[in-house]
């Protein structure tokens, strides 16, 4: 009996590799783009039994790495990837369509980037588009998500100088977000799935293809899991200030009609909520320290205390304007609380929040009627020189 148990135990260990797949039998996908399918001839293949043209249809482009080129040690000289596209009504079926065209099955364990065309999320809820990527066991939760203003396939076709492939370029550029005031913090598919379930407004980083290049800047506003509109680079500068999600942010301010540049070394924003006479009030206090890094002002006297104080006031004014500008756009143009001010209401007055949360967003919602004040305190710690600057 003991021998039988031992044999059965050994046999169970031998089955451990039943689903193993050889590396040279797989096609590793590093990036995916989802775009509307505009080709009428292709659409005609998707006519249902009632002869009604299927409208829910999109084009999926997969970027697959070529391991052989990477192993040769000169991936910059040769193309280290290829893109393949297919059309379908669902992601799962689109994936299976590739099997009939390529010998290697697609593998998503190294997927780094997912680009979704803004036209798709105007008509379809984003939770439907990403559902497959959340459920599939091969998918990575840290895959970065972007919304494109235009064709995402063009971005995946655009190889940048000194880079191996677009997927790697996109990931590395996004890592620079803290150093660029117009870039939103990265959003991965795991974080996006949480936002989708919360059914609140939120932001997704924007990527765009233009004149043989692509750029990550601005953000798409999502409300009730559909595309609502865009925030530009200057808007995201204000967003990052409000969220205290910036390092070495650059502020161009004016003194005596000429520009000077301030760079933050640290910045922190505290938000205080109060409710009075039926009106929701938010006060933002922004504290920043930084350096005077560039001067275009004639005959400036940096050693004088009065000059120093005035420079700090001008920087504070610019920071306040950046924050107020994006808040006003979200309040009165999009009626979308994409920065999550509602959570402060919930923390401070949970009973009040329970009464108004369903009417918080939207035109004539409580968010659009809320009162916001912004106060910035700036201290210039360093003028990057021990000597008084003489521009003459």
Smallest Cα–Cα separation from 374: which of 271, 293, 304, 305?
Answer: 271
Beta carbons within 10 angstroms of residue 274's beta carbon: 13
Class of domain 237-382: alpha beta
Q: Are residues 339 and 330 in contact, defined by beta-carbon separation less than 8 angstroms?
A: yes
Beta carbons within 10 angstroms of residue 190's beta carbon: 14
Rounded to the nearest 5°, which phi and psi values hold at 265?
-100, -30
Whether the pLDDT of residue 351 is over 50: the answer is yes
Whether the pLDDT of residue 221 is over 90: the answer is yes
Q: Are residues 228 and 221 in contact, defined by beta-carbon separation less than 8 angstroms?
A: yes
Q: For residue 38, what pLDDT is reported?
A: 73
Residues 38 and 36: their CA atoms lie apart, in Å, by: 6
Q: What is the CA radius of gyration of the chain?
A: 26
What average pLDDT does the segment 18-29 reach? Answer: 61
Give pLDDT tens digits for 314-340: 999 999 999 999 999 999 999 999 999
The domain limits of the chain are 21-231, 237-382
Tokens of 33: 């783009």
Q: For residue 81, what pLDDT is reported?
A: 87
Tokens of 310: 């005035």
Give pLDDT tens digits for 123-136: 788 999 999 999 88
Tokens of 291: 């350096």
């Amino acid at each position: 009996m003991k021998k039988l148990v031992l044999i059965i135990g050994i046999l169970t260990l031998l089955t451990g590799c039943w689903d193993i797949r050889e590396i040279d039998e797989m096609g590793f996908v590093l990036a995916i783009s989802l775009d509307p399918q505009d080709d009428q001839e292709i659409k005609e293949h998707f006519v249902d039994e009632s002869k009604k043209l299927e409208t829910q249809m999109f084009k999926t482009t997969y970027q697959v790495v070529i391991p052989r080129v990477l192993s040769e040690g000169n991936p910059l000289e040769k193309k280290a990837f290829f893109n393949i596209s297919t059309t379908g009504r669902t992601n799962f079926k689109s994936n299976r369509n590739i099997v009939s065209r390529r010998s290697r099955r697609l593998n998503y364990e190294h997927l780094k980037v997912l680009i979704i065309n803004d036209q798709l999320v105007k008509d379809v809820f984003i939770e439907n588009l990403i559902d497959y990527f959340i459920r599939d066991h091969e998918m990575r939760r840290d895959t970065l998500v972007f919304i494109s203003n235009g064709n995402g396939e063009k971005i995946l076709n655009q190889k940048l100088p000194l880079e191996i492939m677009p997927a790697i370029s996109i990931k590395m550029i996004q890592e620079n977000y803290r150093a660029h005031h117009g870039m939103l913090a990265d959003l991965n598919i795991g974080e996006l799935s949480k936002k989708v379930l919360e059914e609140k407004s939120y932001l997704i980083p924007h990527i765009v293809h233009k004149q043989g290049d692509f750029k990550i800047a601005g953000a798409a506003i999502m409300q009730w899991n559909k595309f609502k509109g865009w925030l530009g680079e200057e808007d995201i500068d204000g967003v990052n200030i409000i969220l205290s999600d910036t390092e070495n942010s650059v502020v161009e301010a004016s003194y005596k009609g000429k520009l000077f540049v301030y760079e933050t070394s640290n910045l922190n924003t505290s938000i205080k909520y109060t409710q009075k006479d039926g009106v929701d009030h938010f006060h933002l206090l922004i504290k920043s320290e930084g350096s005077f890094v560039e001067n275009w002002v004639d005959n400036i006297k940096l050693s004088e205390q009065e000059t120093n104080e005035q420079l700090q006031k001008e920087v504070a004014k610019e920071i306040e304007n950046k924050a107020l500008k994006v808040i006003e756009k979200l309040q009165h143009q999009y009626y979308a609380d994409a920065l999550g001010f509602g959570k402060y209401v919930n923390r401070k007055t949970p009973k009040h929040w329970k009464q108004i949360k369903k009417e918080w967003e939207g035109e004539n919602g409580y968010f659009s009627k809320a009162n916001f004040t912004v106060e910035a305190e700036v201290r210039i710690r360093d003028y990057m020189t021990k000597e008084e600057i003489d521009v003459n």
